[in-house]
Chain A
Amino acid sequence: MSNNLDIASIRNDFPILNEIVNGKQLVYFDNAATTQKPRLVLDALSGYYEHYNANIHRGIHHLAEKATSAFELSRRRLQTFLNAPLSEEIIFTYGTTDGINLVASSYGRTFLKAGDEVIISTMEHHSNIVPWQMLCEEKGCILKVIPINDEGELLMDEYEKLLTERTKFVSVVHVSNSLGTINPVKQIIAKAHAVGAKVLLDGAQASSHLHLDVQDLDCDFYSLSLHKIYGPTGMGILYGKKELLDAMPPYRGGGEMIKEVTFEKTTYNELPYKFEAGTPNIADVVAAKYALDYVDTLGKPKIAAHEHKLLEYATEAVKDIHGLRIIGQAKEKVSVLSFVIDGIHHQDMGVLLDQQGIAVRTGHHCTQPLMRRFNITGTTRASFAVYNTIEEIDLLIQGLHKVKRMLG
């Protein structure tokens, strides 16, 4: 078996890559925001609606049983994807943000009290800052922030100094969406556990690039979104250790999450349904399995190797662009290239690259405190996925030269 992926054939799996944007063949480099979906996933979505759309868990007719089986098959598929010990430890959510809110709200409000400390990091996405700020405000807890160095790496000795017996929760990003930094999460978790704190990992960016094993990491919670792993939008999962999830009260009330309802008292359903009130996003959950199958068929190590090759090529190529500075030069990085160019506003960059059919992300990437740390208002971010090519990076470089010429 070859060690290299056949990228031309992979590109054929993604119909959207044939789109023409502003008269040019689309170059899609906004994969850290969301990845495109292979035909397999699109077919699974339409196949669900065409052949077995039904509400799950309650119905006893054929379609309901088929939909329920497919839904629960996806749960087990995600269990193996994360190597979680039990399938009921996989809670379906709307996405990473939803999972973090679930933990901050349910675990945080139940087990944290005034004076307790929560640790996050400078490179968090707003969705791993705001829920903890809301919790701290409500409960009188204190939010502490791990600083970073100029390369965009966490200062681990500073982290250790923040850890005390008052630390009750640590919530950090596995891989930074703005910088691409892969954080030493195993170490972070072990040190937090040593003081008795629980740990949540924001896995939004990590999940499509890195091999995930929640048992090996020993994290207490892991939240991710499927749309960043070639799967559908609007769904994600929260992994949580069973003993913690069991001890947590429900987050939302409604159907599915109950055992018995009377006007006097309601008893709650068991895991995972306790946290899945209302009709879930069945079609997208069902299709998610096919996205993971796709990723595993290609093989995550091969995907990572290809993406790494693209990142190295791009990192080298942009060195020729005068005044360009890469933001995020960690030793351990995924395929995210964030940069600023002297005298060029990132929005102008985004508009002029778009005119050339090149989709990048510009702005603060929902990490305003991180941008402040680097004393910038935003960056241009090109992020690469398995279907991207060296030729596309050459187009980006040409595009950057053109933008510089136009704005110069």
Chain B
Amino acid sequence: MTINEIQDELISDFELFDDWESKYEYIIDLGKQFPPLEEQYKTEDNIIKGCQSRVWLNAFMEGDLLKFEADSDAIIVRGLVSMLVKVLSGHTPREIASADLYFMERIGLHQHLAQTRSNGLASMLKQMKAYGVAFQANSFNTAK
């Protein structure tokens, strides 16, 4: 599935919920089900510090595809992180770098990506795209 197909699928998943409680219960569930990042990857290098919660992001290449694993100490952030990983992980660096992420806004969760210091989510998204750019440049260099 393309990045946009996954985003559209998430949007239709959330259309089932008509109040904030069921929406957030679903995010909390996503957070609970998301596999925790192995301790060895919870390093200072991989940490994205927000003012309130911590987010860890590990990136690696598998063949031509850039993959992400992540974690957070807050459960709602964990649920949101799992959605970002679901959407972006396993695509080419070029696709990730140029992705237009609209699903958070459409689901009505855009306040979580606001540029406040309160959570590391906006920084995490920026970092995921930066990995896309970096690995794209890398593969370009090695290809030459």
Name A's B-contacting residues (CB within 8 A): 22, 345-348, 350-352, 355, 362-364, 377-378, 402, 406-407
**Which residues of the other chain, B, contact A362 by a CB distance below 8 angstroms?**
52
In the complex, A355 Cα to B111 Cα: how many Å? 11
Assess whether B20 is in contact with A363, with CB atoms less than 8 Å apart.
no
Q: Given the interface contacts A350-B52, A363-B51, A363-B118, does A345 sit within 8 Å of B24 by beta carbon? A: no
- The CA-CA distance from A347 to B51 in the complex, in Å, is 10
CB distance from B9 to the nearest CB of A (A): 24
Residue contact B20 to A22, C-beta cutoff 8 Å: yes
- Known contacts A363-B51, A378-B52, A406-B25; A348 and B74 CB within 8 A of each other: yes
B-side interface mostly:
helix
Q: Is B73 part of the contact surface with A, judged by Cβ < 8 Å?
A: yes
Residues of A within 8 A of B28 (CB): 348, 406-407
Q: CB distance B20 to A345 under 8 Å?
A: no
B118 touches A345 (CB 8 A): no
How far is it, in angstroms, between the C-alpha of A169 and the C-alpha of B4 when the chains are bound? 60
CA distance A362 to B116 in the complex (A): 13
Query: Could you list 18 examples of A-B contacts with CB < 8 Å?
Result: A22-B20, A345-B74, A345-B75, A347-B53, A347-B119, A348-B74, A348-B76, A350-B52, A351-B24, A352-B76, A355-B20, A355-B21, A362-B52, A363-B52, A377-B73, A378-B52, A406-B25, A406-B28
Q: In the complex, what residues of A have CB within 8 A of residue B122's CB?
A: none
Does B87 belong to the interface (CB within 8 Å)?
no
Complex Cα distance A377/B53, Å? 9
Measured between C-beta atoms, what is the minimum distance from B112 to chain A in Å? 8
Contact across chains for B75 and A348 when beta carbons are under 8 A apart: yes
For residue B84, CB closer than 8 A to chain A, the reply is no
Contact A347 B118 (CB under 8 A): yes
User: Which chain B residues border A347 with CB–CB below 8 Å?
Assistant: 52-53, 74, 76-77, 118-119
Complex: chain B residue closest to A346, CB-CB: B52
Residue pair A351, B76 in contact (C-beta under 8 Å): yes
Residues on B with C-beta less than 8 A from A22 are 20
Closest to A352 in B: B24
CA distance A378 to B28 in the complex (A): 20
| Mask of B71-110 contacts with A, CB within 8 angstroms, 1/0 | 0011111000000000000000000000000000000000
- Contact partners of B119 in chain A: CB under 8 A: 347
Q: Mark B106-133, 1 if CB is under 8 A from A, else 0.
A: 0000001000001100000000000000
Q: Name the CB-closest residue of A to B51.
A: A363
- A350–B111 alpha-carbon span in the complex (Å): 13
Q: Which residue of chain B has its CB nearest to the CB of A344?
A: B75
Q: A22, A345, A346, A352: which has the most chain B beta carbons within 10 Å?
A: A345
Residue of A345, A402, A406 near B53 (CB, 8 A) is A345
Q: How many Å lie between the Cα of A345 and that of B119 in the bound state?
A: 12
CA distance A378 to B54 in the complex (A): 12
